[in-house]
Structure 1
Amino acid sequence: MQDYSITVNHRLKYARIKVKADQSVEVVVPLGFDRSKIERFVHEQGDWISQAQNRLAKRADISGLPQKHELPETFYLAATNELWTIKKISGDPAHIYLEEKHPNILEFTGGTNKTTLQAIHLLRDWTKHRAKVEFTPLVTKLASEMGVSPKKVATRIQKTRWGSCSSSGTITLNARLLFVDPTLVRSVIYHELAHITHMNHSKEFWLHLSKFDPNCHINKTHLNRSSKAIPNWMLPTL
């Protein structure tokens, strides 16, 4: 499931896709365009979108622009209703270690002041692992409900694609889903599991999905808005 915005341009005759400098996706459609076809259109252009985003990410790395990110003191995972606190412990300035403490404490030991970017990468790795732990049982449960069997579940950090389903049946979920409402997480998982039965966005796909997620279109709108609440340190280009 790809996150995108929609713009209407009355001068256009055909729909087109723009990948902006921040790697966000904009679908530009002519006036009167059938919006029920947009999701399928974006899905069909998925490979091109990914390639364009990768090129932009490489340009950002080459530019050498400073990263405006800091290690947070706390962060909230809406999907699991957990508030996590980060503690910094002095130690070897050349190395950083991350250890999960309970209740809901992440403890960094080492040179976190001089190597903030390394600390954030450790935090992101922890987040991907946390997403895998939380989402895998949920995928299994919803897959059983839908009568399908995904091959495996993977988690990644991506800016615009909330999830995907490969032709082999691998469900990949964006770790950033940890920061959105659990209802929306379920909606994304339902969407990707529905692709095991219909590897497209045809009318049959939407009819099949709506049996399990009747509010799928409303949830999509809420999901797009939820991206604003995700912290900058979870950006995929970091």
Structure 2
Amino acid sequence: MLNFHITYPQLINCMLETTIIKKSIRKNSKNISLRINHKGEIIITSPYPLSAKKYQQIIKNNQTWIEGHLIQHLNSQNNCFPENIKLTALDKTWHIEYQKTPSKPKLMSLNENSFIIYGNYTKIEVVQLLKRWLTQQAKQSLYPWLQQVSHEITLPYNSVSIGHHRAQWGSCNGEKHISLNAKLLFLPSILVRHVMIHELVHTIHFNHSINFWHCVARYDAHWKENKKILKTADNYLPDWI
């Protein structure tokens, strides 16, 4: 049985880590301004380019304001929670039940194909519980999947982890540690395999040179098509993620 709950500080930290920050340069602007748009993205507008350190300072100095407005934004969104989650990569669908109680928000498995979220939850707490559930599913499926692909193409790696990256489906560092995005589970299996091959090839080619792509092509005959589709793969993701 899968059972866990979320605390408020954990929720805030995750929101700040996954919120998209966009930079806008407008020469006619008199001051540096900060706002949150209808998508929940942070927009920093300035009359001139700023350094990365300056952007970080702006976020830090306005953290309380940002937290409050992000919570307000998410709670003001449509409170229609997902009734089903389909993980296309696994060809599986789960049904979700909801029950309001005075307790802390929790998620509990009911059987292999359904689970329940109960407690005094808000929309953002439901989203965070679903993300934790997704991470658990990713660990159970993507870990052995990557190992299988690694054996097939004889490119070993040292370690693997699961994350919720904003702009990457996967990554591989110089120590041959591979990180995979939990959201890969919403994609067709052929794209998941393409990402895994891509990252495994990085264990021997630490760039995107001609040799790198030749190696990818050796293991993925349709890599060009898969690479192109991957650029718009966000279309496979549900709205709540």
TM-score by length of 1: 0.70
How big is the shift at 1:90?
Answer: 3.8
How big is the shift at 1:61?
Answer: 7.8
* In 2, Cα distance between equivalents of 1:173 and 1:159: 12
After the TM superposition, which residues 7-18 of structure 1 pair with which residues of structure 2 at under 5 Å, given as runs?
Answer: none
SS in 1 for 2:203: helix
Match of 2:171 among 164, 168, 177: 164
Q: Verify: 1:107 aligned to 2:116, yes or no.
A: yes
SS in 2 for 1:124: helix
Match of 1:95 among 96, 104, 108: 104
TM-score by length of 2: 0.69
How big is the shift at 1:23?
Answer: 5.3
The residue type equivalent to 2:172 in the other structure is C
Q: Give aligned-pair identity as a percent.
A: 28
**Shift in CA distance, 101/224, structure 1 to aligned 2, threshold 3 Å:** farther
* In 2, Cα distance between equivalents of 1:131 and 1:57: 31
How many correspondences in the alignment?
Answer: 185
Conserved 8 A contact 1:163-1:192: yes
Match of 1:74 among 56, 80, 84: 84
SS in 1 for 2:89: coil
SS in 1 for 2:165: coil
After the TM superposition, which residues 1-238 of structure 1 pair with which residues of structure 2 at under 5 Å, given as runs?
Answer: 22=20, 62-63=65-66, 64-65=69-70, 66-67=73-74, 68=77, 70=79, 71-91=81-101, 93-112=102-121, 115-234=122-241
Residue ranges of structure 2 left out of the alignment (5+ in a row): 1-18, 23-51
Residue ranges of structure 1 left out of the alignment (5+ in a row): 1-20, 25-50
* In 2, Cα distance between equivalents of 1:120 and 1:97: 12
Aligned structure 1 segments of 4 or more residues deviating by more than 2 angstroms: 21-24, 54-63, 68-71
How big is the shift at 1:163?
Answer: 0.3
